[in-house]
Amino acid sequence: MKPAWIDRSSLSLDLSVGPLSFPDQAPIAKRAHHTNPMHVQGSSLKKDETEDLEAKLSRMSEENKKLSELLGAMCTNYSTLRSQFFDFMSTSPKELGSISPSRKRKRESLETVGFNDKTYERTDSFSNRVESLSSEDSCKRLGEDTKPKITKVYVKTDPSDSSLVVKDGFQWRKYGQKVTRDNPSPRAYFRCSFAPSCPVKKKVQKSAEDRSVLVATYEGEHNHGHPSQNEVTHGAYHNGSVPCSVSINSSGPTITLDLTKQGPRPPVGRASRDIESPEFQRLLVEQMASSLTKDPNFTAALVTAISGRILQHPSA
DNA sequence: CGGTTTTGACCTGCGC
DNA sequence: GCGCAGGTCAAAACCG
């Protein structure tokens, strides 16, 4: 079962700080525009411009300082929230049973969810939009049939990168590759090779809509712990990848959770209590902001946006 | 040398 | 029953 708060998949977190407000900038710009150079000596005009630039520089420095402080605060909360996510995700139901070999294809076609109405997101190496089918709809069907948990993860990659590799911390062995009819990109089949008895399979294929997006479909659930929590913590995630991340794209901000990470199981009560608490909600928001600030692509976009804002305030 | 990847062949379900 | 398409197998190649 998925808690209500996770159902806010379209949760839009407006982290934008809005137009950079420089209270005294408009008058400055206005003054500069309305000053007739014909009536002003060149030296005083240059002096005005210099003062304007200095004032702007100091404002920018202050803004930069504030943002740096904000970033630091966000980062300190990141690890806390991540561990709480591990706690929660490890309490999700795992008793969905195994799928019978027959009627596999038909069932999957019913279960898989469309991509067109979804947005995806990116971070550096492993980030994702997860569509867990252990949600409400699939729960309704649980009484009728048992089936493995199917999770879809969207990973933004370099379009020129032909490798079908999704780093998720687990150890996978490729056992097949196939070109499917509906997608010119080949689909790769992986099995979890960490534990011989692990039933989890993974299919990875580039999205037909956007070839820069890898679609990883996880089938089943690992019957073992994560190969190495440290590996995950200090490996993939440190490349800017986090189990919870935020993206901004044409569809607007999107929050995505990596539901494939599994940590040690904590008591159920604790996890639910944490999630419902205002503190958890606050940490969630902070985590999202942290994810954004850790993404070099986002920061680059932010710099561009800020630069654009500055240029929109003509002062010369 | 053992584990992984590649890739063509084979198996199975589904629609007609 | 047949053809199609997705999924899996397994031998060979590859790699550290």
Structure tokens at A274: 């944490």
In this predicted structure, which of A51-60, A73-82, A107-116 has the lowest mean pLDDT? Answer: A107-116
Q: In this structure, is the CB of residue A178 within 7 Å of any atom belonging to strand C?
A: yes
State pLDDT tens for residues A219-250.
Answer: 877 777 666 544 444 333 333 333 444 333 33
* Strand (E) or helix (H) holding A104: helix A104-111
Residues with Cβ < 8 Å from A223, sequence gap 6 or more?
Answer: A195, A197, A198, A199
The pTM of the full predicted model, rounded to 2 decimals, is 0.46
Q: Where are the beta strands (DSSP E) in chain A?
A: 130-132, 150-156, 172-179, 186-192, 201-206, 213-219, 244-249, 252-257
Domains parsed from chain A with CATH numbers: 150-224 (2.20.25.80)
The nt closest to A171 (CA vs C1′) is B4
Query: Which whole-number Å values give the CA distances from A84 to A231, A247, A269, A287, A298, in the listed order?
Result: 18, 21, 13, 11, 25
**Sign of the CA dihedral A54, A59, A63, A65?**
positive
Cα distance between residue A81 and residue A307, in whole Å? 32
Which 79-118 positions of A have CB less than 7 A from strand C?
A: 104-105, 108
Of A67, A64, A68, A66, the residue nearest A56 (C-alpha): A64
Q: Are strands A186-192 and A172-179 parallel, antiparallel or unpaired?
A: antiparallel
Would you say the C-alpha torsion A288, A294, A298, A299 has a positive or negative sign? positive
Distance (Å) from CA A150 to C1' B15?
25
Give the span between the Cα atoms of A170 and A213, in whole angstroms.
20
CA A170 and chain centroid, separation: 19
Contact A249, A121 (CB under 8 A): yes
CB A247 within 8 A of CB A288: no
Residues β-bridged to residue A154: A215
Distance between CA A188 and CA A215 in Å, rounded? 10
Q: Which nucleotide is nearest to A104 (CA to C1')?
A: B13
Q: Strand, helix or coil at A170?
A: coil
Where residue A63 falls among pLDDT bands split at 50, 70, 90? confident
Location of structure tokens 């305030």? A313
CA separation for the pair A36, A45 (Å, rounded) = 10
Closest C1' nucleotide to A177's CA: B7
Most confident of A38-47, A163-172, A245-254, A284-293: A163-172
Q: Give burial (CB, 10 Å; 0-12/13-18/19+) of A91.
A: middle
For range A30-56, the mean pLDDT: 58
Residues close to nucleic acid strand B (C-beta < 7 A): A 101-106, 171-178, 188, 193
Give the model confidence (pLDDT) of A91-128 as tens digits: 443 333 333 333 334 434 333 333 333 334 333 344 44
Residue A261 makes CB contacts below 8 A (sequence gap 6+) with A85, A86, A89, A168, A169, A226, A232, A243
